[in-house]
Chains A and B, each alone.
Chain A
């Protein structure tokens, strides 16, 4: 997909994120909107996955560790054909494939049952070790939230992945600067995040997580790192693309009202 096509796919996903959370009157639009450009680039340009065979053993793994941002991933899975657009209506509905947090037991194309922060990086480390033992070229990609970095187990995995020189482990940090209760800066300052990863032995790159060309470039850069794990710290805006959600802690875990949905869709170029 071209940069233009990736950007338009991300825009369509933003529309679905707003519709899903509005329909459920629950969920996490803010972190879905901040991650969606990166997810679009990953799925559109890089991930070796097959919607017709979601459990293909030699597929790349994608692990959404910030599993509450599930609407973003579901929207992408529908775009890629893992699930139907009708399935998106099952978000947070009893028996639906789109569980509140992404779940490998419920939804095709989901490789990790998320929902508890700080777990996905360790899981991705296991997937990367599995690929190495098998002699496979597949990669494990992990999407972390920035607030999630406050979980100590993240740093257990950061240390472990560097120790084992897992060049097939690729991580994005969605640095949107907002967590559940407030700005990260208020809740728990994390100081220099790229320096922390670097100190743990990772290859580190910092980008604008909404600039599609930069994102694609970062994904290509990750492919050049083969002797150690790589992390891209993507500076993002929580709620990106919907003016009243942008940089607003209230929309970490709150759904838009009817009026707000109409405004959001209008801003995203949907004509009634």
Chain B
């Protein structure tokens, strides 16, 4: 049986992994128990800063620390990071200060808290900022590994993690994970499914269903949305001739948008985007939300068939 774990736990573990670097500091906005920075707080209280429920302040306290040589890791819910977007823009990204922002509980997958807590635009808005690396890993192992790579990045980042557990895909495969490099989880020839976050495992399930119908589908984990691994997108387009993107995020501006922008300039093949249609969510269980939004394995299968039909 596949091991299940929440990506936010990978973030929390990674903070302990990198704690030996005394430049690492952790900033919290009263949600450390949820984002999982609490483990670092317990072990290293002298390097943890409580900012209270003040996200705007937290981002710029991080900027001040980064300008002084520290490597701040700030976290809150993905939706509440958006409240500090201009601080991220003007105070962090513009001076290129290496503040690492983690937004947990991203996407409709976060579930029963309802639409106010379901960030479906975070990847899109942070992707517009120069200097900012944007990531949405799919499992606990890759989240931990990507977070461990951040102190060496030298610039700011945004990472979305998820509240609920997802299948663990990378046990023992840590060495394959690298910021900016997508990972081909399955090779196929008829259609390529490029996914991020909680929809990676849905995409693997979709590929299984397609295989049962004689359709060969690649699956790519595009954990880094910016910078986009364009070479991998191009090679998948060349091999398969049709692409599906899948994300628990607005259909506007996220992974699908990034892939579409890239393909239009390189290899314009049929592209179907699976994402949250231009609407808000509601309260529901994670699996119910993916079904309601039309973004689970069943919908990915349908999108793959549409993309194949559009080939010349």
A-B contact pairs, 10 of them (CB 8 A): A105-B95, A111-B67, A112-B67, A116-B90, A123-B61, A125-B60, A126-B67, A133-B25, A153-B54, A160-B52
Point out the residues of chain B lying under 8 angstroms from A57, CB to CB.
Answer: 68-69
- Give the distance in Å from the alpha carbon of A126 to the alpha carbon of B27 in the complex: 10
Point out the residues of chain B lying under 8 angstroms from A119, CB to CB.
Answer: 60, 87, 90-91
Query: How many residues of chain B are within 8 Å of chain A by beta carbon?
Result: 30
Residue among A61, A103, A131, A157 with the highest chain B CB neighbour number at 10 A: A157
Q: Kindly supply a per-residue 1/0 record for chain B positions 40-72, scoring 1 wherever the CB is within 8 Å of any chain A CB and 0 otherwise.
A: 000000110111101011011111111111101
One of B47, B50, B65, B90 near A126 (C-beta < 8 A): B65
Q: Say if the beta carbon of B176 comes within 8 Å of chain A.
A: no
In the complex, are the beta carbons of A125 and B56 less than 8 A apart?
Answer: no
Q: Say if the beta carbon of A124 comes within 8 Å of chain B.
A: yes
Query: Closest 3 interchain pairs by CB?
Result: A126-B64, A122-B60, A130-B68
- Give the distance in Å from the alpha carbon of A122 to the alpha carbon of B61 in the complex: 5
In the complex, are the beta carbons of B68 and A156 less than 8 A apart?
Answer: no
B60's nearest neighbour on chain A, judged by CB, is A122
In the complex, are the beta carbons of A123 and B54 less than 8 A apart?
Answer: no
Point out the residues of chain B lying under 8 angstroms from A61, CB to CB.
Answer: 68
Q: A113-B94, A119-B91, A123-B67 are in contact. Are A156 and B25 (CB under 8 A)?
A: no
One of B50, B57, B63, B94 near A156 (C-beta < 8 A): B57
Q: Say if the beta carbon of A201 comes within 8 Å of chain B.
A: no
Point out the residues of chain A lying under 8 angstroms from B86, CB to CB.
Answer: 116
- Give the distance in Å from the alpha carbon of A160 to the alpha carbon of B54 in the complex: 9
In the complex, are the beta carbons of A123 and B52 less than 8 A apart?
Answer: no
- Give the distance in Å from the alpha carbon of A123 to the alpha carbon of B66 in the complex: 10
Q: Give chain A nearest CB distance to B135 CB in angstroms.
A: 23
Q: Say if the beta carbon of A159 comes within 8 Å of chain B.
A: yes
In the complex, are the beta carbons of A115 and B90 less than 8 A apart?
Answer: yes
Q: Kindly supply a per-residue 1/0 record for chain A positions 86-115, scoring 1 wherever the CB is within 8 Å of any chain B CB and 0 otherwise.
A: 000000000000000001110000011101
- Give the distance in Å from the alpha carbon of A215 to the alpha carbon of B210 in the complex: 76
Q: A125-B57, A126-B61 are in contact. Are A113 and B68 (CB under 8 A)?
A: no
Q: Say if the beta carbon of A127 comes within 8 Å of chain B.
A: yes
Q: Give chain B nearest CB distance to A159 CB in angstroms.
A: 7
- Give the distance in Å from the alpha carbon of A94 to the alpha carbon of B59 in the complex: 29
Q: Say if the beta carbon of B96 comes within 8 Å of chain A.
A: yes
- Give the distance in Å from the alpha carbon of A124 to the alpha carbon of B63 in the complex: 9
A134's nearest neighbour on chain B, judged by CB, is B68
In the complex, are the beta carbons of B67 and A129 less than 8 A apart?
Answer: no
